Chains A and B, each alone.
Chain A
Amino acid sequence: MSEMTFTDANFEAEALKSDQVVLVDFFATWCGPCKMQGPIIEELAKEIGAKAKVGAMDVDANPETAGKYNIMSVPTLIIFKGGEIKSTMMGLQGKEQLKAEIEKYV
């Protein structure tokens, strides 16, 4: 599956109400480590296929969701399943680390 772009408008339908395990990379356009995380998320989305939904959300453009989850640091990566937070990771994460974390919940 290709990478998903999450927004305040689609977050409920695409993330919280999704049947799949969902990984959201909360990022900011101004943040250096986020720019390093970006290509990893893109590759991960392709490699993981239908197993999980993988995407990113710009915290500045989507203050409602970022505020709801109290994002105080970027990148923050959150895994959701059935609308609930299963795992939260702070700071840059490797692709294999994210894969293994997703595997725990599929």
Chain B
Amino acid sequence: MSNYDVIIIGGGPAGLTASIYARRRELKVLVIAKAVGGQAALAHEVQNWPGTESTTGLELTQRMKVQAEKWGVEFVSDEVQSVTENSGVFIVKTAQTEYQAAAVILAFGLTPRDLGVPQEKELTGRGVSYCATCDGPLFKNKTVAVIGGGNSASEAAEYLSRLVRQVYLLSDSCNAAADAALVEEVKALKNVQVICGLKVTAVVGSDKVAGLKYNDLQTNEEKELAVDGIFVEIGFSPRTDWIKDTVKLNERKEIITDKVGATSQPGIFAAGDCTDVGFKQMTIAAGEGAKAALSAYKYLAAKKGKVATPDWGVKK
């Protein structure tokens, strides 16, 4: 089993910054992430990264990876399934293999929220989509529904209206969370119909999406709408269910951290958007990553210090 001082789970700005800081303290560091960049890599334009007037999220995070590799950080493109503690050592498991680490940094960010209704999972990629800019062009001349009451849903509806035949914008809140001007703009579009005061209850279709079912909250009637695509735009949440028995989460399922990135479990640190940090921003995530790495370093030094103390004089 491969052995590391620190294993970092997640390859966005928090995880990559943590890896650079940890490696510069001469720790043996592994980053496990499906791909480098995380949500940040999907940002078309980044204009608030200090020292860089304008760049893309992909470019910026690729540069972070190159920098980390230069320092000797190792990378594995995989998905972690569990982290367990065994007498002071952490076992980090993926579907294929397992790794051992003296400390772990959780920095896996946020994942698009799902509706949690029947048939949604089965038809993801078969008409259910969480990325309007990715999959919108594949629905040319079709009928689609956008679900969500915030700006991202209204923006997706506007974008899709230019590609597809008909868009339904569905929400429970009547787009209360979106900018009023944006909502008015969307409502004025000929091929967009806004339907609100409803709750989507199921996705309909066998091998691909044929429609959706919703509950009209005013009349409590169950209704069905025929659509070819369903774009879910209801925000993001951290996917923390797999780690909930190991570290404490808040009511939003975010990992609770202290001021230096420590979690409720000694030896496990966390940084960035998957934590209860006040703002989900790239620069903040990077700073939090640095903090978590330095805390992990301190933790390991103290741990080693206790054991190695008697030999120090001899080695010198």
Contacts and interface: CB of A to CB of B under 8 A. Distances in A.
Contact of B36 (A36, A59, A76): A36
Interface residues of B, number: 31
Contact of B125 (A59, A76, A97): A76
B41 A35 contact: yes
A96 B125 contact: no
16 contacts: A31-B134, A33-B131, A35-B58, A40-B77, A72-B125, A72-B208, A73-B125, A74-B135, A76-B125, A92-B34, A94-B33, A94-B35, A94-B78, A95-B76, A97-B79, A100-B96
A70 B125 contact: no
Interface residues on A, range: 20 to 34
Contacts of A37: 35
Given A72-B208, A93-B34, A60 B229 contact: no
Contacts of B94: 96
B76 A96 contact: yes
A4 interface: no
Nearest to B209: A72
Given A94-B79, A96-B77, A30 B34 contact: no
Given A32-B42, A72-B127, 15 more contacts: A31-B135, A32-B41, A36-B58, A40-B35, A70-B126, A72-B126, A72-B139, A74-B138, A90-B126, A91-B125, A94-B77, A94-B78, A95-B76, A96-B94, A100-B96
Interface centre among B34, B131, B135, B208 (most CB of A within 10 A): B34
B78 A32 contact: no
| Those 5 A-B pairs whose CB atoms lie nearest each other, nearest first | A90-B125, A95-B77, A96-B78, A73-B125, A32-B42
B82 interface: no
B95 A36 contact: no
B125 A28 contact: no
Contacts of B124: 73, 90-91
B122 to A, nearest CB: 11
A7 B245 CA distance: 48
Nearest to A34: B134
Given A72-B208, A73-B125, A92 B35 contact: yes
B155 to A, nearest CB: 15
A28 B34 contact: no
A76 B131 CA distance: 13
Contacts of A28: 134, 137-138
Interface string B95-106: 111000000000
